[in-house]
Structure 1
Amino acid sequence: TGSSRMKVFLPVLLAALLGVEQAHSLVCFSCKNQKSNLNCLTPTMCSDSDHYCVTVSASAGIGNVVDLGRTLNKFCSPICPGPSVNLAVVSVGTHCCQSFLCNISAAGGGPQVSATVLAIGLLLSLLAVLLQP
């Protein structure tokens, strides 16, 4: 029956999602010069020499008076780039992390989501779709 196959499929799916975290190559989100984090959610398999997922968020402006925009970059890297910089006109936030898709946040140093939380969220979304009448 369909429900018995579902009972077997879900634990296998969850195990597969969590198992990816244990793989040798790191997987990070990547993007280049984007304005929105929605455009920065493309998973990329890093090379064996890459040990970090990096998020660099840069914004320019003068306080709340002049906003010159913001750019977001995400990538794999063998090293963690330099520290965050906050000058009067330019702010650059850099955040490094070392686990599966850990650079989901747009903030340089903002809240991070673990692979387990991502897997559970994906599983719940899948369940909601499959259980619809």
Structure 2
Amino acid sequence: MKVFLPVLLAALLGVERAHSLVCFSCKNQKSNFNCLAPTMCSSSDNYCVTVSASAGIGNMVDLGRTLNKFCSPICPGPSINLEVVSVSTHCCQSFLCNISAAGGGPRVSATVLGGGLLLSLLAALLRPGL
């Protein structure tokens, strides 16, 4: 925390009002705590981006989460939710606007997963010719 405030102050003093964007940045972190390093973006960068990827089944199985924050000239692709795996992308365009971790994304509940497996099994058992 002692390093954070001087770096933030230096970033504030070095910001060119019209062209430079300052975003938080990190790579492959497990929590937002390690993603609070301010970075001066290049003049071609227009977005602060947060990408959060997670995998799991309800609260029962957690396969992990990774968080990335960076400057970008474009806002990358849309968020993707495949129920068990999700990738959440959030873009913003103001000073240090990507302070928050963009949610872990939804996860499928154990009940929904179990119901889907049961219906698949029933369909296979009731199919003629088996």
**TM-score (norm. length: structure 1):** 0.64
In the alignment, structure 1 residue 47 sits paired with structure 2 residue 49: no
1:75 equivalent in structure 2: 70
Q: Render the CA deviation track for 1:49-100: whole Å, top value 9, x for unaligned.
A: 1100000011111122210111100000000001111112211110000011
2:54 equivalent in structure 1: 59
Contact 1:60–1:67 (Cα < 8 Å) also in 2: yes
User: Aligned partners of 2:16 and 2:55: how far apart in 1?
Assistant: 35
1:24 equivalent in structure 2: 19
User: Kindly tell me: are residues 81 and 65 of structure 1, through their superposed partners in 2, closer, same or farther at Cα, counting changes over 3 Å?
Assistant: same
Query: How much is the aligned-residue C-alpha RMSD, in angstroms?
Result: 2.3
Q: Render the CA deviation track for 1:96-116: whole Å, top value 9, x for unaligned.
A: 0001100000125xxxxxxxx
Matches within 5 A, 1:1-133: 20=15, 22-107=17-102
The percent of aligned pairs where both chains have the same amino acid is 90
Runs of 4+ in 1 over 3 A off after TM superposition: 17-21
User: Aligned partners of 2:18 and 2:31: how far apart in 1?
Assistant: 29
How many correspondences in the alignment?
Answer: 94
More helix by share: 1
Q: Decide which structure has the larger Cα Rg and report it.
A: 2
